[in-house]
Structure 1
Amino acid sequence: MRALLRTFSWQELRHHPWRNAAAVLAVMLGVALAFSVQLINASALDEFASAVRSVNGQPDLELRAAQGGFDEAVFARVAQHPQVTLASPVLESQAVALVAGSERRIALRVIGVDALVLPTIAPALMPQPAKDADRFALFAPDTLFLNAAARTALGEAAATVQLRIGTQQHALRVAGQVAAGGSALAVMDIGAAQDLFGRGGQLTRIDLRLAPGIDRAAFIRSLQESPGWPASIQIAEPGDAAERVSNLSRAYRVNLTVLALVALFTGAFLVFSVLALSVAKRAQQFALLGVLGLTPRERLRLVLAESLVLGLFGSVAGIALGTALAAVALRVLGGDLGGGYFDGVAPTLRWSSGTALLYGGLGVLAAGVGGWWPARAAQALPEAQTLKGLGAAPAQGGAYKLALLLIAAGAALATAPAVFGIPIAAYLSVGFLLVGGIAALPWLIALLYGRLAPLAAHRVLPMLAIERARRMRGTAAVAVSGVVASLSLAVALTVMVASFRESVTRWLDVVLPADLYVRSATAGSSSQSEQAAFTPAFVQALAQLPGVARTGTLRTRALLLDPARPAVTLISRSLDDEASRSLPLLGAALPVPAGRVGIYVSEAMVELYGAKPGTEFEALNKAFGGGKRFFVAGVWRDYVRQFGAITMDARDFERLTGDRSVSDISLWLAPGASEAQVQQAVREAAAAEPIEIASVGQLRATSLRIFDRSFAVTYWLQAVAIGIGLFGIAASFSAQVLARRKEFGLLAHLGFTRTQVLAVVAGEGAAWTAIGALAGLALGLAVSVVLVHVVNPQSFHWTMDLLVPWARLAALCAAVVVAGTVTAWLAGRAAAARDAVLAVKEDW
């Protein structure tokens, strides 16, 4: 019997390659996309974290400034602490290196270190002098040691490096190299770095090695509670740096992985569709095997085994394809897939057998879940009735109740909060809504076509198409389930992306009010560094140019409020009397009480730090060393800085920091002024300082281009999901049409022409895919509400307005209906072309 069963299953898989290939292809693409996204993200994250560890070393504790630097007197204090065995001072700054022989510039991290204590804490930063270098080069001024990335960018043979720091240019000698990985960096003596950057007596970090057996938590408390300890200094564990790197891109990585699993989710429905039709076609064979001794439980295991074989084939092929896709993407796109989180990192593929087994197992599991219901149907077949041709299992009248229960559970889960910053409940909500909606398909088909049937009662061909869809609603639901799953997700993603893009467009209208924007061409990625490019005198000179009505300024600075989280951005800018004119505020700005400094926080600050409007923000007070009272006057929408931004008026920033330099200048043109002439005048005023000038239109176009590039992967995933769904409906119709040869032969005997038979089949295809498109559209809109109002705020800490692109959705649904109709017509041609007599000869 077991040999007979193996032969039975193998013949089914071998004799229907196209139908089974649809299920294998769906599983393969789902596993390949999810596995490739995981490989790309893991490779980039590992590379980035490795670079952070090589630069930061392995201290027991790190002392960091919340913003800028801190007085080096703190170093003398902690270095003499009896529980500290070693203290390493660090000054890290940002500069721009000019590549010799070209106009290209690269951002260069310059790290000042004490070479005498470095080897035991951060050996990768230890300078390695060249053979011809002076033996005291480690301590010489104007001397750099470059890592591999810097040497590659600047030229292996470069003996000197031209550094631009602010508006000044300095020539430094290259005396050797360092082993640290990651982006381009240079190491020099800490005293020389303080002189070079004009930061005498300042440090940005102190690495500590504690005595054996010291309790870190108790040591941290003793420092923070000691008299005169600066409140602006953060004490971090060494693992916090790696956690910051992971947190930086976690939401993006998780959401991208979930989107990649969309294809696998669709594949499960396709396996369900293929096996359900296979079970229906082989019902009499199963019944005969039952009479010969095959138990219902063995029939269930037989169908499940077929589904697992399909899943295994698809998973193995998906792992191979996913590996190839990841290798190509890392080489062509880099490690961020458009997210922009790993700039400057060129990761190599890091293949993981554990991850491969996990995603391969997910593929097999998805196929098994898809095959469970057809297996149960095979188990429940009434053998005697089925052998007589009366074996259709009775429809479950209470199925719609289960569907409503699933939909209600999905709606309830959408209101649950995120878990560890990941919207797990929201993802489950999406799954419950989709499964519940698909489970309600038979009820929806009966309801809709029950109303349409009387309208087509007097026209034979439409009546046949509608009646078959209504009477065979279970079969119709099976056939279109893959299309409903893929279309609903495509609709949801389309609405989400369109809503996000429109919200970004409106946001740009507010944050880019001026006509022209000026920044230093050497700023690069150092826009949050301590050195800003422009002086107040230069800003004043631009304000007096002909054609310039007024100017505005902007200055950014990194602010570390929590060692375990990425730094937030402190923005100093010119604010009007009404901040709502300059910031995309959510609600009205609150009046600032006397004696308070008014600040405006982004939505992420409310979510992550509890900076609610109308309250005082104590964490910012600590960052400025205490003694200040900051009042949250409003919340604004920010689509750039996922982990928070704080805006304050430039006058308050200057009073608190004494820093009057700016990094960006905005220009409003006088009526009738020529933009080209103003740009030329600005370049002449800048003299030798290389600057970048962009109009508001150019910045908008660039921003939207970056947005579209970031969501390019999403568009591809949508296309794959739709393609799998259409491939599934093609396989379903082909299988059904071939199984209905007797029916077509009977129609031919009754006088139906070949054209009329094809019209009936095409009508059925249109009727089935129309209900699938309608259900997919409704489910997609429901899922889009969850994505826009739940998943997006919980993942990225910003909100957006819901926008439904009806024209695009209508075109998408129409394309699905047309594709389903054409697919059914093409499948019907083969069956209708067969000899009608041969088709019904078994009944003679």
Structure 2
Amino acid sequence: MKALLARSSLRHLGGHPWLTALSLLGIAMGVAVVVSIDLASGSALRAFEQSTDVVAGKATHQIVGGTSGLPEGVYTALKLRPDAPAAAPVVQGFVQVEGGNQRTLTLLGLDPFAEAPFRDFSTGNAVGDVGALLTKPGTVVMGAKTARALGVKAGDTLPVMVSGLRKELHVSALLSPAQEATERALESLVISDLSTAQEVLEQQGKLTRVDLSLPGGEAQAERLRAALPPGAELVQTSGRAGTVEQMTRAFRTNLTALSLLALVVGMFLIYNTMTFSVVQRRGMLGRLRAVGVTRGELFGLVLGEALVLGVVGTTAGLLLGILMASGLVGLITRTINDLYFVVNVRRLSLEPFTLIKGLGLGLGATVLAALVPAWEAARATPVTALRRSTEEDVSHRRAPQRALLGLGLLAVSVGLLAWPTQALPPAYAGLFGVMMGTALLVPWVTEKLTLAAAWPLGALFGPLGRMAARGVTASLSRTAVALAALMVAVATTVGVGLMVSSFRGTVVAWLESALQADVFVSPPSLVARRGDSAMVPGLAEKLRATPGVAASGSIRVVHVRVGEVDTDLLAIDFAEGQERSYRFKEGRTEDIWRQVNASPDMLLVSEPFAFHRKVRAGDTLRVSTDQGPHDFRVAGVYFDYGSDVGTVMMPRATYDHWYADRSVTGLSLYAAPGQDVDELVSRVRDRAGGAQALNVRANKVLRQTSLEVFDRTFTITQVLRLLAIGVAFVGVLSALMSLQLERAREFAVLRATGLTPGQLWGMVSLQTGLLGLLAGLFSIPLGLALAYVLVHVINQRSFGWTLQLVVAPGVVGQAMVLALVAAALAGLYPAWRMARANPAMALREE
């Protein structure tokens, strides 16, 4: 019996290739989006981690310095100790290849005689002269693959830019290590001796760190820590690796949640397909029940069909996801480079866990979506199964019950969203609960609205208008599912669109408040959002004296350890009165600045920093300084939208008190009254000369550049929105194709009684337009609710930002247009098929 049922299922699926293909496409698209996002973001992080692991080598601890680096004398003193551990000095920084490629590489300066316990770059397969590292200044070695990508051979010169300064590296040898991990790390690495790296990176007499191997564990570490001079700090290498994961956790979580949305929309499609499969074969299922097939066997029949679709669709989705990831990895890498750290992703990492997760999600979603149709098939008696009207009677009768269930789910979801926690899972559970609760309301609301719309449509279009409205209600079991899928996809577009526009509006207002100067000057930075390069000594003072400059301010951006985490520290020398442009969450601005300027023990923290570290005004933070760790008191929390990780800020005078660094990262120049800003920009560029490449930008240009970085960070979000709409489009097309097949006999009767193909086309198109209109109407309140949750719950718990939700009429209008266009396009082919169908063929009994 089971073999006969299996053949029956396969024959049914093969007999409806279009519906089967649409179902497979929906599953594949949903799985592909999830897998592609996971693979792309995972590849970017693994590329960074592998590079970091190889560079850090087998070190268990590191000695790091303050903002000016670590004096070489610390390493010398360490080696003179009788209990000196294995140690290797390191100078590390970024260089950017000059020219069209502009690829960013990590320059690693090492002492070859101290490297054996830490790193092995396998020079046995080297091409060229590796020994030149020790004998020729300015010499580097690099991976053979990197050299081929850059068009460089052993013996060539590689011009690079470092903080706006042009340097030349002489490539003496190319490495081809046997270990894959080392080979991958070398794809973004160039290696030199210490003195070359110090010269190129302008770090003469300084080290970035000293790598240590401490087999004695924490006891040995404590003895070393006690002997270190002020400004030097001993840290575990494992602690720094966790910082990267923390920085990008919210970014990756939000991408994953958005990608799961496409899978949810795909579940609507699977549900619709399996429901139609059951409805279409109700007669056959009734006859099977009449001849002795059990309820369990029918339940297994439908679930088995769903599982076949799930296996094929998920397999296709995995392959499609790998292809999509190859394109998405560039977008995600660019976003990470804009926001967090420099990373080069040269290849896609295929992680088995990601593929297994995609397989589980695809099959799980398919089976879950098929449970209700399978149960409906199993519970039907032979008599009711042979009547088509039974299914729609049940659907209409249960619409109020499902609406009540939806209201209950909405109430639970609101409770989850209001739960006072910083955890993201309850927030996303509440968000998806709101979507599902609203979807359960769709059948009942659709029934009421279409009944109300029948009269005006009849007045406008005659009997065909009334028939179109009644057609939606008559097939409620499927039109409601298609409506819900389109509603969720369009509502997501509205919600995400309003969130992005609100975020952008908040950032624009913040930029207008924060960027008061007329001209901004800074060296190029490798991470778009973080200006951590330094101007050459004396240049800042020279530019401050440019004719036409009435006042000036400066900023220094450095990385310091605050507690156990590396954080950006902003040291700002404000032009007179400009500190008042900062807005604070609590307290009067004047009082806060009075406290900060009066004491060298005070600092400020940004809103995201305060959120992530659970810090409030009045709390104490331990910050690493050149004089050793020092406890600073938090004077206030300021609004800042430049970093979702968070920053700390102090006046330049306080910074100079605790740090020996006197460098300047950027200048803000204020034009004298009557001075043309564009002319001042040219004058500053001329005065700077060619000593260092600088970004000299007018206020409006810097704002525009900042917003371009902002827009780039949301490119991946826009792609996911389009993919969700694509899945919903397939869902509507599937539902309309189902209706066309199911109602073929009804339409044939209408054709036989005089309805022309054009009139039939018009009626189906009107019905399609009504579906789109309803989906658009439903999506607006849901989209507004999603926007509120994204802005005030998800964003707040992810990044800690305070945003103002602004409802842009254009975004809401786009929802209606999008729903109507999606429904209209999806209805073109079914309408054409219905209009040209042969009435005589359709009227035949099987």
Same fold, TM-score > 0.5, yes or no:
yes
Equivalent residue, structure 2, for 1:723: 726
Amino acid paired to 1:556: V
After TM superposition, the structure 1 stretch with the greater mean CA deviation from structure 2, 46-55 or 394-403, is 394-403
Partner Cα distance (2:682, 2:124) in 1: 45
Deviation by residue 1:591-634 (Cα, 9 ceiling, x = unmatched): 34443544222122102333322x14322266852456443233
Q: Is the 8 A contact 2:486 2:728 kept in 1?
A: yes
Q: Residues 692 and 306 from structure 1, CA distance in 2 versus in 1: closer, same or farther, beyond 3 angstroms?
A: same
Deviation by residue 1:32-88 (Cα, 9 ceiling, x = unmatched): 222222222232222221211221111222233354434566556765778764233
Equivalent residue, structure 2, for 1:44: 44
Partner Cα distance (1:792, 1:562) in 2: 25
Partner Cα distance (1:733, 1:704) in 2: 42
* 1:23 to partner: Cα distance: 1.5
Show the 5 A alignment for 1:214-225: 214=216, 216-220=217-221
Deviation by residue 1:235-264 (Cα, 9 ceiling, x = unmatched): 433333432333333332332233223222
Q: Is the aligned partner of 1:485 residue 2:484?
A: no
* 1:729 to partner: Cα distance: 1.2
Q: Is the 8 A contact 2:146 2:186 kept in 1?
A: no
- Three-state SS of the structure 2 residue aligned to 1:618 is strand
Q: Is the 8 A contact 2:678 2:698 kept in 1?
A: no
Partner Cα distance (1:699, 1:23) in 2: 48
Deviation by residue 1:760-780 (Cα, 9 ceiling, x = unmatched): 433333333322222222222
Equivalent residue, structure 2, for 1:654: 656
Amino acid paired to 1:439: L
Equivalent residue, structure 2, for 1:446: 447
TM-score, normalising length from structure 1? 0.87
Q: Is the 8 A contact 2:214 2:220 kept in 1?
A: no
Q: Is the aligned partner of 1:120 residue 2:117?
A: yes
Q: Is the 8 A contact 2:164 2:523 kept in 1?
A: no
Partner Cα distance (2:200, 2:289) in 1: 90
Q: Is the 8 A contact 1:410 1:433 kept in 2?
A: yes
Equivalent residue, structure 1, for 2:180: none
- Three-state SS of the structure 1 residue aligned to 2:213 is strand
Partner Cα distance (2:665, 2:75) in 1: 31
Equivalent residue, structure 1, for 2:373: 374
After TM superposition, the structure 1 stretch with the greater mean CA deviation from structure 2, 828-837 or 735-744, is 828-837
Partner Cα distance (1:127, 1:666) in 2: 52
Equivalent residue, structure 2, for 1:188: 193
Partner Cα distance (1:529, 1:111) in 2: 21
- Three-state SS of the structure 2 residue aligned to 1:391 is helix
* 1:472 to partner: Cα distance: 4.7
Q: Is the aligned partner of 1:772 residue 2:769?
A: no
Q: Is the 8 A contact 2:265 2:728 kept in 1?
A: yes
Equivalent residue, structure 2, for 1:518: 521
- Three-state SS of the structure 1 residue aligned to 2:348 is coil
Q: Residues 812 and 368 from structure 1, CA distance in 2 versus in 1: closer, same or farther, beyond 3 angstroms?
A: same
* 1:380 to partner: Cα distance: 2.1
Deviation by residue 1:685-744 (Cα, 9 ceiling, x = unmatched): 223323332222222222322333332222222122112212221221222133123333
* 1:402 to partner: Cα distance: 1.8
After TM superposition, the structure 1 stretch with the greater mean CA deviation from structure 2, 118-127 or 770-779, is 118-127
* 1:125 to partner: Cα distance: 9.9
Q: Is the aligned partner of 1:606 residue 2:605?
A: no
Equivalent residue, structure 1, for 2:535: 533
Match of 1:595 among 596, 599, 608: 599
Partner Cα distance (1:241, 1:752) in 2: 74
Amino acid paired to 2:561: L
Q: Is the aligned partner of 1:305 residue 2:309?
A: no
* 1:483 to partner: Cα distance: 1.1
* 1:118 to partner: Cα distance: 1.6
Q: Is the 8 A contact 2:154 2:174 kept in 1?
A: no
Q: Residues 683 and 767 from structure 1, CA distance in 2 versus in 1: closer, same or farther, beyond 3 angstroms?
A: closer
Equivalent residue, structure 2, for 1:711: 714
Amino acid paired to 1:261: L
* 1:368 to partner: Cα distance: 1.4
Q: Residues 127 and 84 from structure 1, CA distance in 2 versus in 1: closer, same or farther, beyond 3 angstroms?
A: farther
Amino acid paired to 2:779: G
Deviation by residue 1:172-196 (Cα, 9 ceiling, x = unmatched): 8766577762534443236994999
Amino acid paired to 1:189: L
* 1:232 to partner: Cα distance: 5.2
Equivalent residue, structure 2, for 1:246: 245
* 1:13 to partner: Cα distance: 0.9
* RMSD over aligned Cα atoms: 3.8
Equivalent residue, structure 1, for 2:703: 700
Q: Is the 8 A contact 1:304 1:372 kept in 2?
A: yes
Partner Cα distance (1:763, 1:155) in 2: 64
Deviation by residue 1:357-404 (Cα, 9 ceiling, x = unmatched): 321221122111221111121122232133255533633342223212
Partner Cα distance (2:204, 2:55) in 1: 21
Q: Which runs of 5+ in 1 are unaligned?
A: none
Show the 5 A alignment for 1:467-486: 467-470=470-473, 472-486=475-489
Count of aligned pairs between the two proteins: 823
After TM superposition, the structure 1 stretch with the greater mean CA deviation from structure 2, 309-318 or 241-250, is 241-250
Partner Cα distance (1:387, 1:244) in 2: 63
Amino acid paired to 1:208: L
Q: Residues 685 and 381 from structure 1, CA distance in 2 versus in 1: closer, same or farther, beyond 3 angstroms?
A: same
Equivalent residue, structure 2, for 1:645: 647
Q: Is the 8 A contact 1:107 1:184 kept in 2?
A: no
Partner Cα distance (1:22, 1:503) in 2: 41
Partner Cα distance (1:529, 1:464) in 2: 65
Equivalent residue, structure 2, for 1:296: 295
Larger % of helix: which? 2
Equivalent residue, structure 1, for 2:140: 145
Equivalent residue, structure 1, for 2:554: 553
Show the 5 A alignment for 1:292-441: 292-329=291-328, 335-336=333-334, 340=338, 341=340, 343-389=342-388, 391-392=390-391, 394=394, 395-396=397-398, 397-416=400-419, 423-441=424-442
* 1:322 to partner: Cα distance: 2.0
Percent identity over the alignment is: 25
Q: Which runs of 5+ in 2 are unaligned?
A: 178-184
Partner Cα distance (2:411, 2:230) in 1: 50
Amino acid paired to 1:652: T
Equivalent residue, structure 1, for 2:57: 57
Equivalent residue, structure 2, for 1:11: 11
Equivalent residue, structure 1, for 2:182: none
Q: Is the 8 A contact 1:338 1:709 kept in 2?
A: no
Partner Cα distance (1:98, 1:85) in 2: 37
Q: Residues 442 and 677 from structure 1, CA distance in 2 versus in 1: closer, same or farther, beyond 3 angstroms?
A: closer
Q: Residues 104 and 573 from structure 1, CA distance in 2 versus in 1: closer, same or farther, beyond 3 angstroms?
A: farther
Show the 5 A alignment for 1:571-582: 571-575=570-574, 581-582=580-581
Partner Cα distance (2:826, 2:165) in 1: 68
Q: Is the 8 A contact 1:44 1:347 kept in 2?
A: no
Partner Cα distance (1:390, 1:98) in 2: 71
TM-score, normalising length from structure 2? 0.87
Q: Residues 549 and 477 from structure 1, CA distance in 2 versus in 1: closer, same or farther, beyond 3 angstroms?
A: same
Q: Is the 8 A contact 1:275 1:371 kept in 2?
A: yes
- Three-state SS of the structure 2 residue aligned to 1:532 is coil
After TM superposition, the structure 1 stretch with the greater mean CA deviation from structure 2, 369-378 or 809-818, is 809-818
After TM superposition, the structure 1 stretch with the greater mean CA deviation from structure 2, 13-22 or 742-751, is 742-751
Match of 2:465 among 450, 462, 467: 462
* 1:498 to partner: Cα distance: 1.8
* 1:290 to partner: Cα distance: 0.8
- Three-state SS of the structure 2 residue aligned to 1:698 is helix
Equivalent residue, structure 1, for 2:737: 734
Q: Is the 8 A contact 2:450 2:469 kept in 1?
A: yes
Partner Cα distance (2:257, 2:527) in 1: 30
* 1:222 to partner: Cα distance: 5.6
Q: Residues 561 and 342 from structure 1, CA distance in 2 versus in 1: closer, same or farther, beyond 3 angstroms?
A: closer
